[in-house]
């Protein structure tokens, strides 16, 4: 069986043309569906192609057409449910539009991100969707744009980069949730993020390179200031880059002389660790501690108590970014569009009045 079947490694248009008794050019036209070919010839070529199990070499095609039918995607960490869901949104839309996705993890590392962009440029992707680790270090993205490559930004914008951008209204969500906590009587509210600073300490929101997170922190700090709270900056903790880091930070925080009465977790991975630590320390949510987490991860509704979350339109974030990019690739592009999707606060049982 196996050996009767032809090895289709390198069955080329030339082979098909030969078998069909026509020229290479004609065969190519018939196969590619462009130019004009007589029905008789088209059939002959199609038959020959089928018989030989001809598969066009996309690489060669790309080289002449200049289009690769590929979209490069660079995200922080595919293992993070946030990104895996966003990527799902991207790939669904991309495939529908006939594009294949090349996915690269940056690990939220700027250097890795730059390398990823380089790889994708070399592979001649038709377009790029990136979730920049640092909004200020985007020279590599400028370069890509300069070279004429369409780019869409996902979840994180950049002031200096005038390209299609899709983000959620994270500042607004942070403001809202902070207001609610303050209304509940909380005055010691901690914000915990994976983003890091060189010395692992937080001073000002400007130090936070990740745009979405910076906006959240700005919102948080702004509302606290409005409420007359001072020294709120000290309640922002950075560097929760692994579960272990997070556990250490949270444990220290909760065991300090002035423990927070509420914690805002910047993503669901951090939220989960906060939840684990409070258990281990024998505390009670929401009696001893209120918890709010960004990202409505699936598990947040089944814990005891279920966790109040900021429900971000994650799938749509990805899908929309892909849509904008595809439209641009298809030449339906206007000036760069900035899309801001709405977050929704889902209040569950992990938040309650502060205890005095």
Partner DNA sequence: TTGAAAGCGATACCAA
Partner DNA sequence: TTGGTATCGCTTTCAA
- 281 touches its own copies (CB under 8 A): no
Q: Which element (helix H / strand E) includes 350?
A: none
User: What distance in Å separates the CA atoms of residue 216 and residue 202, rounded to the nearest whole number?
Assistant: 14
248: partner contacted, choices its own copies, DNA, none (Cβ within 5-8 A by kind): none
354: partner contacted, choices DNA, its own copies, none (Cβ within 5-8 A by kind): none
- 9 touches its own copies (CB under 8 A): yes
Applying CB under 8 A, the span of 12-20, 63-71, 172-180, 208-216 interacting with its own copies comes to 63-71
User: What distance in Å separates the CA atoms of residue 72 and residue 130, rounded to the nearest whole number?
Assistant: 8
User: What distance in Å separates the CA atoms of residue 185 and residue 274, rounded to the nearest whole number?
Assistant: 21
CB 29 within 8 A of CB 35: yes
267: helix, strand or coil:
coil
Question: How far is the CA of 286 from the CAs of 179, 274, 303, 318, in angstroms?
Answer: 17, 12, 12, 33
User: What distance in Å separates the CA atoms of residue 208 and residue 265, rounded to the nearest whole number?
Assistant: 15
What is the smallest separation between the CB atom of 81 and its own copies, expressed in angstroms? 7
DSSP type of residue 294: E
- 314 touches DNA (CB under 7 A): no
159: partner contacted, choices DNA, its own copies, none (Cβ within 5-8 A by kind): none
Contact residue for its own copies among 44, 49, 141, 269 (CB under 8 A): 269
The mark string for 23-62 relative to DNA (x by CB under 7 A, - otherwise) is: xxxx-xx-xx-xxxxx-xx------------xxxx--xx-
User: What distance in Å separates the CA atoms of residue 237 and residue 243, rounded to the nearest whole number?
Assistant: 14
How many C-beta atoms surround the C-beta of residue 230 within 10 A? 8
The sign of the torsion formed by the CA atoms of 72, 136, 214, 334 equals: negative
Name the residue nearer to its own copies (CB basis): 55 or 200: 55
Tokens (6 digits) for 210: 């990740």
- 119 touches DNA (CB under 7 A): no
68: partner contacted, choices DNA, its own copies, none (Cβ within 5-8 A by kind): its own copies
CB 208 within 8 A of CB 193: yes
3-class SS shares of the chain: helix, strand, coil, % to 5: 45, 15, 40
Contact residue for its own copies among 148, 198, 282, 331 (CB under 8 A): 148
The mark string for 112-141 relative to its own copies (x by CB under 8 A, - otherwise) is: ------xx-xxxx-----------------
- 147 touches DNA (CB under 7 A): no
- 81 touches its own copies (CB under 8 A): yes
- 6 touches DNA (CB under 7 A): no
Is beta strand 308-311 parallel, antiparallel or unpaired with respect to 290-294?
parallel
Which residues make up the interface to DNA (CB under 7 A)? 10, 12-14, 22-26, 28-29, 31-32, 34-38, 40-41, 54-57, 60-61, 63-65
Which residues make up the interface to its own copies (CB under 8 A)? 2, 5, 7-9, 53, 55-60, 62-63, 68, 70, 77-79, 81, 84-85, 87-88, 91-92, 95, 100-105, 118-119, 121-124, 142-143, 146-148, 269, 272, 275-276, 279, 297-299, 301-304
């Amino acid at each position: 069986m196996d050996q009767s079947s032809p090895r289709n490694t390198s069955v080329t248009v030339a082979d098909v043309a030969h078998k069909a008794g026509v020229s290479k050019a004609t065969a190519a036209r018939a196969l590619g569906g462009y130019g004009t070919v007589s029905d008789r010839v088209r059939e002959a070529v199609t038959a020959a192609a089928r018989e030989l199990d001809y598969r066009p070499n996309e690489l060669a095609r790309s080289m002449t057409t200049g289009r690769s039918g590929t979209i490069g995607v660079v995200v922080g960490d595919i293992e993070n449910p946030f990104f895996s869901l966003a990527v799902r949104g991207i790939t669904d839309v991309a495939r529908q539009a006939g594009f294949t996705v090349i996915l690269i993890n940056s690990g939220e590392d700027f250097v890795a991100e730059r390398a990823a962009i380089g790889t994708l440029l070399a592979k001649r992707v038709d377009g790029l969707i990136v979730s920049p680790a640092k909004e200020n270090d985007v020279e590599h993205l400028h370069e890509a744009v300069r070279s004429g490559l369409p780019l869409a930004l996902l979840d994180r914008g950049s002031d200096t980069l005038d390209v299609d951008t899709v983000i959620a209204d994270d500042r607004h969500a942070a403001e809202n949730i902070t207001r609610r906590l303050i209304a509940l009587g909380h005055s010691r509210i901690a914000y915990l993020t994976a983003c890091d600073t060189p010395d692992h300490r937080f001073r000002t929101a400007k130090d936070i390179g990740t745009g979405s997170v910076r906006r959240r922190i700005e919102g948080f700090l702004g509302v606290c200031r409005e409420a007359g709270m001072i020294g709120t900056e000290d309640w922002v903790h950075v560097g929760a880059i692994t579960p272990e880091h997070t556990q250490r930070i949270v444990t220290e925080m909760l065991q300090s002389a002035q423990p927070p009465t509420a914690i805002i977790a910047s993503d669901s991975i951090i939220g989960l660790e906060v939840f684990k630590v409070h258990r281990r320390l024998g505390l009670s949510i929401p009696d001893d501690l209120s918890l709010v987490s960004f990202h409505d991860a699936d598990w947040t509704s089944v814990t005891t108590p279920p966790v109040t979350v900021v429900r971000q339109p994650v799938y749509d974030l990805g899908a929309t970014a892909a849509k904008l990019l595809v439209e641009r690739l298809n030449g339906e592009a206007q000036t760069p569009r900035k899309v801001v999707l709405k977050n929704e606060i889902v209040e569950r049982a992990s938040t309650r009045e502060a205890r005095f």
